[in-house]
Copies of this chain bind each other. A is one copy, B any other.
Amino acid sequence: MTVQINLSEENSYKIYIEKLEELNFDRKVVVVTNPTVSSYHLEYLKSKIKAREFTICTIPDGEEYKNMQTLEMILSSCFEARLDRKSLLIAFGGGVIGDMTGFAASIYQRGIDFIQIPTTLLSQVDASVGGKTGINNKYGKNLIGTFHQPKAVYIDSSMLKTLPKREFGAGVAEIVKMAVTFNKDFFIWLENNDLNKENNIDIAIQKSVETKAWVVSQDEKEQGLRAALNYGHTFGHVIENETNYKMYLHGEAVGIGMCMANALAVKLNLMSSEDARRVEDLLKKYDIPTTYKIKDVEDFYEHFFLDKKSSNNKIKFIVPVGIGDCKITDDISKNDVIEVLEGF
């Protein structure tokens, strides 16, 4: 199946959710990947791609390498391969690979094309829509980057067979996020269908991607509605930061973060505790963590202000309104938040 992403001008593209078909490129191609993905899937990819010239750039695996130094490695590969303005970069891996390859493509000779072949569930449902690229630095995550849309995204869920169970769960957390914030029917479908079945995961990917595409098309540069995609992230980022990005996968921290946001919504009478429980149950079905022991609640609260999305010293919270709707607000009192955190 195919999802059309409609954006301004020449930025529109298609997401293909199906077994990878043969791809023919009459231009030079550099594929960016990491040793893990490459050991499982590179031969498969090679068997599908025809290009004028074809170079592999292998970068180290892990969020800690999502930095300027690795970006320069990718750019050097492009220069060594003598890519010109008509050449193509392919991101072949998870979110880190996608974000860095997209960033490299956006600044190599002032911008060349790239396509994404995401290999993790998280990157398939989340990173394949939105055009956000970037790297981390000592000031925070994704603070340097661009908006640069891929020319196409190819999602082949058969590659998920080699994905560790925890990483699968981290992807499911983002799927649940899309359902809770925007689509009640989808949420009910998720309650009743097992995503470990191949056909179901394709449907869930499609639904997530379609929902995110709709949100992004309303707000390509993140001025308003798109902030709703940060449901679970305001809390999740603090959790990741407090645990030095070592204890939880991003999607797992978001899972906990959604439960925190739900608790806040319950306190504000925006969500019933029964609905909050349904979300928690769905996450637990995929062994996604839903609890977290906060050491110091005041400290946790202060952490919000380090996030780049909090301009003017106000924190933007995304709280669900029942299931299938949500509210973006920077008007929640510190007392309410502190009480919820203490009770969590």
Contacts and interface: CB of A to CB of B under 8 A. Distances in A.
Contacts of A133: 110
A311 B84 contact: yes
Contact of A109 (B75, B103, B111, B143): B143
Q: How many copies of this chain sit in the oligomeric assembly?
A: 2
A52 to B, nearest CB: 11
Interface residues of A, number: 31
A333 interface: no
A58 interface: no
Interface in A96-151: 103, 106-111, 132-134, 137, 139, 142-147
A19 interface: no
A116 to B, nearest CB: 17
Interface in A262-279: none
Contacts of A79: 137, 139, 143
Contact of A85 (B109, B146, B311): B311
B68 A107 contact: no
Interface string A5-32: 0001100000000000000000000000
Given A75-B144, A79-B139, A103-B107, 4 more contacts: A86-B311, A109-B145, A110-B133, A110-B142
A107 B110 contact: no
Interface of A: 8-9, 68, 72, 75, 79, 84-86, 103, 106-111, 132-134, 137, 139, 142-147, 221, 308, 311-312
A144 to B, nearest CB: 5
Given A68-B72, A79-B139, A308 B144 contact: no
B110 A134 contact: yes
30 contacts: A8-B9, A68-B68, A75-B144, A79-B137, A79-B139, A79-B143, A84-B308, A84-B311, A85-B308, A85-B311, A86-B311, A103-B107, A106-B146, A107-B107, A107-B144, A107-B145, A107-B146, A108-B143, A108-B144, A109-B143, A109-B144, A109-B145, A109-B308, A110-B132, A110-B133, A110-B142, A110-B145, A110-B147, A111-B221, A146-B146
